[in-house]
Structure 1
């Protein structure tokens, strides 16, 4: 896989220096440019064929959210901010990750790995021979006759998954990440298809980008669900159905 071409956008020069240094330490990332101007960033994405944008949310000309809306699908985005309240809005736009300042290098590296996996998966999708793709897709969408097993296409492999092992599913544009306690599996399947595949008595859609396993919930606080170390937002569109499902689960049989 080619290196991922990166642009850093932040109105604070110190933040630019830190993220630029982090990018240069990772061999699969390529630092292309940095800027304190959101308007300049829009031009650079077009001129420099940027793959990944490290984007601050609070900037004077345009906010990071506004920049993402203008760019659409032209590049992937990792948001950076000092304010936790913007996290849910960021995930509404299918960002790769959300980094809270001050950003430690190990957390930055984790976000970079997530971006790398996303690009590798997209590249794999374009390299599967056309004659093989339909057969692979049919196999990946086939559920086992055993009620607790499904088969998922991940790159060039078909992976068997126990439903009881799935914690939650995160949708990211045209693919999903399936999280278990021991691994994260990327699949070229969108969130809607995963919702159709998973049994509704065990899994529920709580956000346009998330499906959770009901029996893996550790706690619920306001519009957030805690599963292991993950904090999952509950979207307004899905809140009523989620609360209804919870009521059914808690109703004595």
Structure 2
């Protein structure tokens, strides 16, 4: 199966570079391009795009605003001339971050990474990779990878997840499980809005929240901050707006 890509950039020259690179990648199908990010969002939301190549600095809708609206529907590779936005992009678990001018070899590595993730085989439980959903006859759960084994964690037992650089700690009703999965990968595997990312370092189970005060969430005796990037979405989900 080809990797279906869509490119969005308000600079036509930048789109032409992407088109030229895409023609040289046999497993990549560029299904469309646009200079209009709103039209691009509507196109991607149709659900037949695997990866978006997305500029950040656009007039009508910035790339970061686009990511908020996209809500993880497909993989995203950011393309920009501004390296200072890299950390903001990774808050949304983007697949890669390409700096303009984009060389072909760097473009190829980015799309290869997304293609590898999209075509990675799903192993049967209990040998499933971290983040695999539960079997149909069992409770909703994850299988998370620790240093020596895969650990089954039922969704209902999770209070919150705290992320580090290359790992995450799943905090349950009875234990803390140090996993080798990133927070971004766990966020993709968990159902929304049952679990909501509220900070670059935290995912929270909404049913375990006991109170919210200003920019702080109380879950049991633990206080978790709400990051600036996540305030609007948290308010929308919790407030029902």
TM-score, normalised relative to structure 1: 0.53
Aligned length: 167
Q: Which residue number corresponds to residue 94 of structure 1? A: 93
Q: Which residue number corresponds to residue 177 of structure 1? A: none
1:61-105 Cα shifts (integer Å, max 9, x gaps): 000111111111222110011011100000000111111111111
| 2:78–2:97 Cα contact (<8 Å) kept | yes
Which SS does the other structure have where 2:5 is aligned?
strand
Q: Which residue number corresponds to residue 68 of structure 2? A: 69
Q: Using the TM superposition, give the Cα deviation of residue 4 of structure 1 relative to its aligned residue in structure 2, in angstroms.
A: 1.2
CA 48–13 in structure 1, closer or farther in 2 if over 3 Å, else same: farther
CA RMSD of aligned residues (A): 4.1
Q: Which residue number corresponds to residue 220 of structure 2? A: none
Gaps of 5+ in 2: 125-131, 152-163, 186-198, 203-241
In 1, Cα distance between the equivalents of 2:201 and 2:32? 38
1:20-59 Cα shifts (integer Å, max 9, x gaps): 1111211111110000110110121134711110000000
| 1:80–1:98 Cα contact (<8 Å) kept | yes
In 1, Cα distance between the equivalents of 2:169 and 2:184? 7
Which SS does the other structure have where 2:94 is aligned?
coil
More helix by share: 1
| 1:8–1:19 Cα contact (<8 Å) kept | yes
In 1, Cα distance between the equivalents of 2:73 and 2:121? 14
Q: Which residue number corresponds to residue 51 of structure 1? A: 50
Q: Which residue number corresponds to residue 110 of structure 2? A: 111
Which SS does the other structure have where 2:29 is aligned?
strand
CA 124–113 in structure 1, closer or farther in 2 if over 3 Å, else same: farther
Gaps of 5+ in 1: 153-167, 172-189, 211-234, 239-253
CA 37–61 in structure 1, closer or farther in 2 if over 3 Å, else same: same
| 2:170–2:178 Cα contact (<8 Å) kept | no
Which SS does the other structure have where 1:20 is aligned?
helix
CA 103–198 in structure 1, closer or farther in 2 if over 3 Å, else same: same
In 2, Cα distance between the equivalents of 1:115 and 1:141? 21
